[in-house]
Structure 1
């Protein structure tokens, strides 16, 4: 009887933690909506140029994942709850020096160094939060039942995105009001104060979470370089390479959509906010659908469909500068598909890695993503700073009026190459079966991609991915299921 009572108690604690995690996600969404979403506009407001914007995005993309390399080692010595608590406390407090930069700019003190200092402080902020990410990932993997992950995380993500939408929208109108009065830097400080307060509130919610604890088996650890060495020989390794490559291609353009709207097109903060928010709003309606598809047919199908949309998105920015067009057309594609990609990516890690390796595998995934973001953002920044519109117009005969449109075009081409060369090499890890019509269509697409890969002289050999099943290849211990 005691055993059953204990089991019920643990089950109740897990359910309570799942509920608390949704509230915690809502709290951190205020920080994202009122803080993270306005870092690039803030950088522009304190004098950052295009190259500095590229460096800002590149460093936060790399510093965060690099800190995660230490996450699993910390789990050997300290409880997961304790690590997460102190990591996000540091993250919350880093908003204070970030806010101080606005005051220094207003007082005309060290203005030439402020963009550089913002890169440092914001990278530390992101790094502290990133340190907690794989540990939280491992923690929630022990809380949420495997059969309900797609449903639960799609619901949590919808709540997170809804609160992000509300906070971003309020922040955009708030900033425009302060900008009209000539106090935009004060407006940023108020927003970042709210971001800090709600991050501190999330710490309180974490303190109430149940942590079942984890005992890491001897020999569980394998280095990042061991992982890279054998990455092409196992399904998860190929998946990580694909994700890192697609983030490289995306990051060529990602930091510069905001610069393009605010600097080139002269949009207000309200219009900037609305356009950035539009795909988030649309994803609220698609996440439930992708969660069900993920649970029923596996994550690879969702990743496959979403990735095919990736090259199209930056191309949609080439056709019009109309506010209404940019509010409706590009966000439809991003909102309907890319939320599914993010959801399926996380679930794919859960399905691929054993319990004791989850945090390590997520950290290595994030490192490759970070390297991709770093390299892509630097490349985009260099093109934005030193690229010649006249040269590209003569070379490609397109007649674009600014360098940002070429950045979007190059990003689209890079995304296309990544999808063609790497996507077909990923297998599903769950024992799932697709409807016959989808199986045939996927085979046609895979054969096309494989043919394109062969045509391009790729060093990768085509592997038949029509056979859905678990992969046994694993040269880095018994890491993956």
Structure 2
């Protein structure tokens, strides 16, 4: 009843409609500024860690610790919704994040001076962990806020368009960040280059904060009885609970390998910062290309089928990294597959959560899901880093063993969980799409026709 009443208010109030339209435009501008900040900061945190003396185990800790503190921040942020407005929570988050990025710039200064060299990787882990905690703290608020701004029947299209714009802006900033780092490294000033990027991170996060302050915030109050414990969330294991556990196990498998692609490129393959940046950009380029199709697919056929797409594609990525060494091959093959998989997964996870959880409980459900995912991320990154650095593997390179293990675990996670998860709304049947493996040529021909019809909206 409450949700139905809210929809009536929106239809009867031109002011609310107008304010929401402007808020959604501001959201794209805010997300673009935040994307620049993230791509000049977090995207280069691993190369920065390696520069100040971190090894594979440190990188594993950096990635896994960040994954653990983010859901703790989300749990804290979900309780803040009881006392503070969503706008106030997010502006506070961005202000405090800037403070910690300033301290990370201090780590660069200490490295330049040659001081506390042994401790710098651990100091960075703590400071960057604080940044991730604060990002997590703001996530329930922004997730709840965006859910109140967008109608249910347009979420797929809006997020596809927003992700495409925000992703493109981030992609351009990431490229120029890598270009700048390569220039500074060539001139023997790599540490200064990182300081410049982190300084720009602070500036663009401040711009993002200003856009947040301008956005319309629909009236929202956490109702009594909304709260439920983490243990009850885990024990319930309903449709959304299965979805949450799937994310946790799947991210555990992903994180065994994904933090170490950068290590592999910079240390094993000996790529420079510009080559590293171009390869890292590839998945984002293809993500932007395929995100509109993923949004359209979600609105028409549901989100579970998108999860199947990502579940099939993701395991092939670490396997390809074992065999491919050429930069252009890495750009076009794993990059393409990663872009399609990420587009499918991002749209599916976002829209499934909005459809499966009532507005009052979204913040808490997102926080509890992130807590489960955080455990998976923490254990995956830690185990992957430990195996690469310390496990005595003689039949192959330890990093290749980790890549293969990660792929196997991803496949197992999808095979176990996906058949248990059901879409929360009715969706169209994929007429003309075939999965008949007994007649592969007929299947391929049928699926090509289906894809052409899908592209043209038939």
Number of residues paired by the alignment? 430
The residue number in structure 1 matching 2:452 is: none
- Whether 1:411 and 2:406 are equivalent positions in the alignment is yes
User: Which structure 2 residues correspond to residues 218-367 of structure 1 after superposition, within 5 A?
Assistant: 218-231=224-237, 234-367=238-371
Deviation at 1:389, TM superposition (A): 3.5
The residue number in structure 1 matching 2:449 is: none
Listed as ranges, the gaps of 5+ residues in structure 2 are: 1-8, 439-458
1:20 corresponds to which of 23, 26, 31 = 26
Paired residue secondary structure (2:118): helix
Paired residue secondary structure (2:104): helix
Listed as ranges, the gaps of 5+ residues in structure 1 are: 394-399, 445-481
Counterpart CA distance in 2 for 1:275 and 1:143 is 35
The residue number in structure 2 matching 1:435 is: 430
2:191 corresponds to which of 170, 178, 185 = 185
The residue number in structure 2 matching 1:139 is: 145
2:70 corresponds to which of 57, 64, 81 = 64
Deviation at 1:441, TM superposition (A): 4.0
- Whether 1:50 and 2:45 are equivalent positions in the alignment is no
Deviation at 1:324, TM superposition (A): 1.6
Contact in 2 for aligned 1:79/1:213 (Cα 8 Å): no
Describe the superposition over 1:94-124 as per-residue Cα deviations: whole angstroms up to 9, x where unpaired: 1111011011011111111100000000010
Contact in 1 for aligned 2:48/2:194 (Cα 8 Å): yes
Contact in 2 for aligned 1:244/1:370 (Cα 8 Å): yes
2:390 corresponds to which of 386, 389, 395 = 386
Residues 414-423 or 195-204, more deviating: 414-423
Counterpart CA distance in 1 for 2:214 and 2:221 is 21
Deviation at 1:6, TM superposition (A): 7.2
1:423 corresponds to which of 413, 418, 424 = 418
Change in 2 beyond 3 A, CA 1:4/1:369: closer
The residue number in structure 2 matching 1:469 is: none
1:78 corresponds to which of 84, 94, 101 = 84
Paired residue secondary structure (1:76): coil
Deviation at 1:302, TM superposition (A): 1.0
Paired residue secondary structure (1:111): coil
Counterpart CA distance in 2 for 1:222 and 1:41 is 41
The residue number in structure 2 matching 1:477 is: none
Counterpart CA distance in 2 for 1:349 and 1:221 is 17
Deviation at 1:270, TM superposition (A): 0.5
Deviation at 1:320, TM superposition (A): 2.1
Counterpart CA distance in 2 for 1:196 and 1:356 is 32
The residue number in structure 2 matching 1:127 is: 133
Paired residue secondary structure (2:81): helix
Counterpart CA distance in 2 for 1:33 and 1:98 is 16
Contact in 2 for aligned 1:55/1:381 (Cα 8 Å): yes
Deviation at 1:210, TM superposition (A): 0.6
Contact in 1 for aligned 2:174/2:277 (Cα 8 Å): yes
TM-score (norm 2): 0.91
Residues 264-273 or 214-223, more deviating: 214-223
The residue number in structure 2 matching 1:170 is: 176
Deviation at 1:336, TM superposition (A): 1.7
Deviation at 1:250, TM superposition (A): 0.2
What's the Cα RMSD here?
A: 1.7
Contact in 1 for aligned 2:310/2:341 (Cα 8 Å): yes
Deviation at 1:229, TM superposition (A): 1.4
Deviation at 1:217, TM superposition (A): 2.1
